[in-house]
Structure formats: C-alpha cells, structure tokens
C-alpha cells in the first residue's frame, strides 16, 4: 500500500512539474541568422520561390492560396508538412501579416495545436546578404505549451529545426541558378 501511495505522489509531482513549464514558459522564442554570398534581391527571390521550399524546409509537402491576393499582406495559404515518415501530414494556415519588399516578411501560422509567428529579415552587407529569422511558437492549450517548453528545454528542438532549415536556405540561395525578375 505504501508503494502505491508513493507512486501516486510521484505521478502527481511529475504532472505538476510538467504543467508548470507551460505556465512559466507559455511560448518558445528562437531564431537563426546566416550570411549568403548572393545579392539581397536574389536572396529575397529565392526565399519566396515556392518551387524551392521542399529543398530547404524539412517535411514541406504543399502550399495553396485559400484567400487574398498571391504574396500580398492578408493573403492566406494552406500549408501541409510531414514532420517525419511515422507521423501524419500536418496542416497549418499561413497568413502574410506584414512585409516590406527586399527587407522583411512576417508570417503567422495557425493549426489545431499551436500558433506560430515568424519574421524573416534581409539586409545587404558588402555585396552579401544577411538573412535573420525571429520565431515564436505557442501551444493552444496548457498541455501543448508544456510540451513545447520541455521540448526546447531538454533538446532545443525548435532552435535546432530552425537552424537546419535556414542553413538549408543558405545552400539553396548560394546554389541558385534561376533567373528572377528582381523588380517584383
């Protein structure tokens, strides 16, 4: 009987500790910065080229416009990703919240379990381009907020994924051979 009592205390303590993380850290902030050996306008064009997303966004499957005008503030897209082979497809609604051509773009992503914000900024440095992301993810309930807080605390999951994707973007930008109309 004592064993069950201590087991119950342990489980209760574990649950309280797990949920406390979501209360104390309701969102996770992370980001990454790269310098690419390409001009700013070309880096911007490659970054917004949907045909190249699967080359640098791990698990990217598809993106379709569902409302608004393509590439304009307020437009919304259905984005489908497959985190890994064992998991089902994951769907999000992306909204372009703000942007300034060749400077930055701010996107919001909404799904059943989370809300995600990302700003990607571009600046020219001596003929090269600095690309910097600032991201924030928040779970939509205490369980998801707690899980995200522990994922970042124990393994830096969100930061690691951001670094992997943005380093992938660097490879795609620097290897780009597509000729873009750089005035758009």
- Domain span at residue 112 reads 20-57+102-174
Evaluate whether residue 181 is within a structural domain: no
Q: Give the pLDDT of residue 107.
A: 98
Three-state SS string across 17-47, please? HHHHHHHHCCEEEEEEEEEECCCHHHHHHHH
Evaluate whether residue 139 is within a structural domain: yes
Q: Decide the pairing of beta strands 104-110 and 114-125.
A: antiparallel
Q: Which segments of the chain have a pLDDT < 50?
A: none
Q: What contacts 55, CB < 8 A, 6 or more positions away?
A: 168, 172
pTM value?
0.88
Domain count, the chain: 1
Evaluate whether residue 122 is within a structural domain: yes
Evaluate whether residue 71 is within a structural domain: no
CATH number (domain holding residue 169) = 3.30.530.20
Q: Give the pLDDT of residue 11.
A: 85
């Amino acid at each position: 009987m004592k064993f069950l009592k201590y087991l119950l205390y342990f489980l209760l303590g574990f649950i309280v500790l797990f949920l406390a993380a979501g209360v104390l850290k309701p969102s996770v902030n992370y980001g990454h910065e790269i310098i690419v050996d390409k001009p700013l306008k070309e880096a911007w064009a490659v970054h917004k080229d949907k045909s190249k997303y699967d080359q640098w966004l791990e698990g990217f499957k598809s993106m379709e416009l569902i409302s608004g005008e393509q590439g304009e503030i307020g437009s919304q897209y259905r984005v489908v990703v497959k985190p890994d082979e064992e998991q089902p497809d994951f769907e999000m609604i992306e909204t372009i919240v703000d942007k300034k051509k060749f400077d930055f773009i701010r996107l919001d992503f909404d799904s059943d379990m989370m809300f995600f914000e990302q700003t990607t900024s571009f600046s020219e440095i001596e003929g090269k381009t600095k690309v910097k992301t600032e991201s924030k993810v928040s779970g939509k309930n205490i369980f998801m907020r707690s899980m995200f807080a522990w994922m970042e605390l124990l393994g830096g999951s969100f930061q690691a994924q951001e670094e992997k994707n943005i380093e992938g973007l660097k490879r795609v930008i620097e290897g780009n051979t597509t000729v873009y109309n750089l005035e758009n």
